[in-house]
Amino acid sequence: MAQLHTTFNVADVPEDDGFQPVPAGTYRAQIVWSDIVPTAAGDDMLKLRWQIDGGPFDGRAVYQNVNMYHSKPNVAEIGQRQFAEIGRAVGKLAVSDSEELHHIPMVIRVIVKDSPNYGPQNEVKRVTAVDNAAQLQLHPAPAQVARQSGFQGQPAQQSSPPPARPSGGLPWQ
């Protein structure tokens, strides 16, 4: 038994309206946790927790599963491409510990996917370097934020787009 410090009144705490994913959009974020865990099929999977930096969703977490060690070659190839995209975004072309990627600002493009088992959830679709993302509009459209979060503030000022890249250049060059 644990004696509480005071009498806890449940009526003083609003009911939780459940988990709501962040709206689809592009966010500045960083990896704050990672681990390799077994999947139900017996393969290993890299799990990442991203933390959004700035905007109305500052501090919110977005999770990503990277199946780079899957027994199906096509699934493993997709996972390896996802991991390579992260490495390129931070300029690390050889990574032996996922912790090398922690706490480095990047830009993630997130969608909302409806899972039959878990309901709506976020999925990281793209990772780019912060420097290369200047042309992207960060965060979802202000009207979408207002609808999904009740946010009533003013949208952030948008900066002018960067000069056009020479043709044939890769985004990370």
What's the average model confidence in pLDDT over 97-124?
Answer: 95
Reply yes or no on domain 19-149 having CATH 1.25.10.
no
Cα 21 to Cα 149: distance, rounded to the nearest angstrom: 10
Cα 89 to Cα 99: distance, rounded to the nearest angstrom: 15
Q: Which two tokens stand for residue 48?
A: 């990442």
Please answer whether residues 140 and 112 qualify as being in contact, where contact means their C-beta atoms are separated by less than 8 angstroms.
no
**Which helix (H) or strand (E) element contains residue 52?**
strand 44-52
Q: What is the pTM of this model?
A: 0.70
pLDDT digits (tens, 9 = 90+) for 134-164: 545 566 654 454 444 444 444 444 444 444 4
| 93 Rama class: left (phi>0) / alpha (psi -120 to 50) / beta | alpha
> Which of 156, 104, 144, 159 lies closest to 127 in space, CA to CA?
104
pLDDT digits (tens, 9 = 90+) for 20-40: 899 999 999 999 999 999 999
Q: Which distant-in-sequence residues (6+ apart) come within 8 Å of 146 by Cβ? A: 152
